[in-house]
Amino acid sequence: VLSPGSCWGNSVERKIYIPLNKTAPCVRLLNATHQIGCQSSISGDTGVIHVVEKEEDLSWVLADGPHPPYMILLDGNLFNRRVMLQLKGTSRVSGLAVAIAKPSPPQGFSPGLKCPNDGFGVYSKDYGPQFAHCNKTVWNPVGSGLSYEDFDFPIFLLEDANETQVIKQCYQDHNVPRDGSGPEYPLCAMQLFSHMHAVTSTVTCMRRSYLQSTFSINPEVMCDPLLDYNVWSTLQPINSSGKVDPEKEVIIVATRIDSHSFFWNIAPGAESAVSSFVTHLAAAEALHKVSDVHLLQRNIMFTFFQGETFDYIGSSRMVYDMEKDKFPLRLDNIHSFVELNQVALRNDSVLWMHTDPVSRMNESVEVQVRNLLDILSNSSVGANVTLQEAGYSQPLPPSSFQRFLRARHIPGVVLTDHRSAFQNRYYQSMYDTPENIRMQYPEGLSPEETLEYVTDTAKSLAEVATVVARALYQLAGGANNTSAIQADPKTVSRMLYGFLIKMNNSWFQSIIKPDIKGILGDVPQHYVAVSSPVNTTYLVQYVLANLTGTVVNLTKEECLNPEKIPSSEKEMYEYAWVQGSLDPNSTSRVPYCVRSTVHLSKALSPAFELRQWGSTEYSTWTESRWKEIRARIFLVASKELEIITLVVGIAILIFSLLATYFINAKADVLFSIPQDPGAVAY
């Protein structure tokens, strides 16, 4: 009985509502002092749809329209701070659906801050106060800070152009004003659900969650810390569970692997993250191919930090672990630091070398920094990359290196494609896509051909990786000629395709474990999130293992349990049983075992380990929990018709009750069985 009823109910719902399935919400994030983002009411917010394609259309929503509140379908080119603050200040708006602008806004669009991670880097009133708060250089001049505003109505991104067109058609059919007067009912409306559980700040939501988990049988967690894992490996294997010898020097090469935008889990990060970590991976591969790396005087550690967008979560945690002896390396082991930042948008092939002017006032640091800069410059000779110094008076751009400098004066350099302000006009936005770093493919290529096609961007990044690899080799004490050290443009092409266009490709499928093949979604995103490891972390881990590891002749059982093999050196290596490529003669794969020095370490802010939720030293970012995220459109009747329908319904109900009462009262008369006249009684 229940099943047909539920099917009928679903059928009725499908006739009333059109669900919008390809959307991305703006969600609530919190730190020690603020809440940012968006949310709907607990039952969702509803409004009559109005399409806004130019600023003049806003007057209907803000003043003239007779049917508030309105749910706005906003053209992506109008999604800016000026327009959003107008909408934020009125009760006539119940929500927003944003259509992606195509092509990307030519003037640029960055909802991030003008001074990213301000207050959590090295510069402060006690250290280089003249550089604090971007006083010297505004790194992200197009940054509107929109991602850091708090909106009390839901905002969704429409990812599918077809769904956007369905909404526009519904608007055209029902909601377009006629001759300056309001349209007639029924009207096309939209309902957005994105109610958030957390409020006020991380301090408040973590305290409430802690109290719930302490005293409640069924605790309800309000928010979760942003967390994941850092990925790291070394050129020469080290004991990951022990401690590196205090005299052993290690060069750290670092980059970030996360990005962000206004909308949840929409973080393509082509220039802000992918260009740098792909270059980093290519440099690591080039170095591992060198025959005498095991003889180098200094070790090299390749480090990929997660959560750097949110006040340096990954790097601050690694520094904390080093200080507390919870990591194989100590800060004293660090010889120098090389960081790859945004590197894809170079002008005239120039790569800028940024250093810290404050620590360089120390004579010994200055000598080491000078040596580092000279080696980098010499390594670019003969390559299509020109390295130039950004200037002694120029501070460091936002970078993981700043968190290490807070703990110790370490000689280091940050490599970028910009001398001062970012070249990237779409920093931390949904438009930081492959097109932003000029990735172009010929038309008509199959997915496999696209994966293998070497783009100009790949060639350019491979040149940067070559220069970095050669410089690292010399810095580590390598004495041989470096001309043979060469990054592979084909490998870079594959990585760019996998991390920016399609994760679910044949190469990525072949290098991951069978039990995590579900991580290979279609469109890559690089948001740090609250469940870990995220797809990006897994893939960086396995790509790095594939490029720098060794295929070993072990069975599946031996690979999964290397501690049972006496010669496995489990403390020095990680083993992974990966899917392998498809057998050309069948549909099955040929799996194999990879041995590498790739490890994961926590990227959870120390503030949560220490329960210092109001910390100003460490990142305190959390993400609110929610029950449901969905969007739908439907036709809404006039208030008069709704009232009439309600009144008629109540009247019918009362009539039905009265009829039932009288029928029941006269049941003996109405339903008595007449006596058979021919019946004879004995």
Instruction: Give average pLDDT by consecutive 10-residue segment, the chain, 682 residues.
Output: 48 87 97 96 96 95 94 97 94 97 95 97 96 95 97 97 96 87 90 97 94 84 96 95 92 97 96 98 97 94 98 98 96 97 94 97 96 95 92 93 97 97 97 96 95 97 97 94 94 98 95 92 90 92 97 94 85 94 86 96 96 96 96 90 90 94 85 64 48
**One domain for residues 300 and 234:** yes
Q: For residue 10, what pLDDT is reported?
A: 66
Q: For residue 214, what pLDDT is reported?
A: 82
Q: 675 burial class (0-12, 13-18, 19+ CB within 10 angstroms)?
A: exposed
DSSP string, 70-136: EEEEEEGGG-SHHHHHHHHT-SSEEEEEEEPPSS--TT--B-S-SSTTTTSSS-SSSS-GGGGGGSS
569 located within any domain: no
**One domain for residues 496 and 379:** yes
Q: Name the DSSP class of 196.
A: B
Q: For residue 181, what pLDDT is reported?
A: 77
Query: Quick one: which of 230, 375, 236 has its CA closest to 300?
Result: 236
Q: Name the DSSP class of 443.
A: T
Question: Cβ–Cβ contacts within 10 Å for residue 365, how many?
Answer: 18
285 located within any domain: yes
Q: 338 burial class (0-12, 13-18, 19+ CB within 10 angstroms)?
A: buried
d(CA 310, CA 527) in angstroms, rounded, equals: 10
**One domain for residues 172 and 90:** yes
Q: For residue 312, what pLDDT is reported?
A: 98
Q: For residue 13, what pLDDT is reported?
A: 81
Q: For residue 2, what pLDDT is reported?
A: 42
d(CA 111, CA 103) in angstroms, rounded, equals: 18
164 located within any domain: yes
Q: For residue 1, what pLDDT is reported?
A: 37
Q: How many domains does the chain have?
A: 2
Query: Quick one: which of 90, 81, 80, 78 has its CA closest to 54?
Result: 78
CA dihedral 316, 471, 235, 527 (to 10 degrees): 40
d(CA 229, CA 225) in angstroms, rounded, equals: 13
570 located within any domain: no
**One domain for residues 169 and 291:** no
Q: For residue 570, what pLDDT is reported?
A: 85
**One domain for residues 452 and 322:** yes
**One domain for residues 159 and 252:** no
Q: For residue 5, what pLDDT is reported?
A: 47
**One domain for residues 269 and 148:** no
Q: For residue 670, what pLDDT is reported?
A: 77
Domain CATH for 429 = 3.40.630
**One domain for residues 147 and 251:** no
pTM for this prediction? 0.92
d(CA 238, CA 227) in angstroms, rounded, equals: 26
**One domain for residues 359 and 416:** yes
Counted residue by residue, the chain has a size of: 682
DSSP string, 553-573: ---HHHHH-GGGSTTS-TTT-
Q: Are 182 and 65 in contact (CB under 8 A)?
A: yes
Residue numbers of the domain that contains 95? 11-195+629-640
d(CA 46, CA 40) in angstroms, rounded, equals: 9
Could you give the 3-state DSSP secondary structure of residue 270? helix
Q: 450 burial class (0-12, 13-18, 19+ CB within 10 angstroms)?
A: middle
Contacts of 49 (CB under 8 A, 6+ apart): 70, 71, 72, 73, 167, 170, 171, 175, 187, 188, 189, 190, 633
Q: Sheet holding 29-30: strands in order across?
A: 35-36, 29-30, 622-624, 223-225
Q: For residue 288, what pLDDT is reported?
A: 95
**One domain for residues 284 and 369:** yes
202 located within any domain: no
Identity (one letter) of the amino acid at 354? H
- Mark 497-536 as b/e (b = at least 16 C-beta within 10 Å): bbbbbbbebebbbbbbbeeeeebbeeebbbbbbbebbbbb
Q: For residue 680, what pLDDT is reported?
A: 54
Q: For residue 682, what pLDDT is reported?
A: 45
d(CA 487, CA 484) in angstroms, rounded, equals: 10
Q: Are 495 and 543 in contact (CB under 8 A)?
A: yes
**One domain for residues 128 and 248:** no
5 located within any domain: no
Contacts of 667 (CB under 8 A, 6+ apart): none
The CA distances from residue 70 to 153, 188, 477, 515, in Å, are 11, 11, 66, 46
Q: For residue 674, what pLDDT is reported?
A: 65
118 located within any domain: yes
79 located within any domain: yes
Query: Quick one: which of 581, 503, 575 has its CA closest to 539?
Result: 503
**One domain for residues 189 and 231:** no
Structure tokens at 405: 């400098």
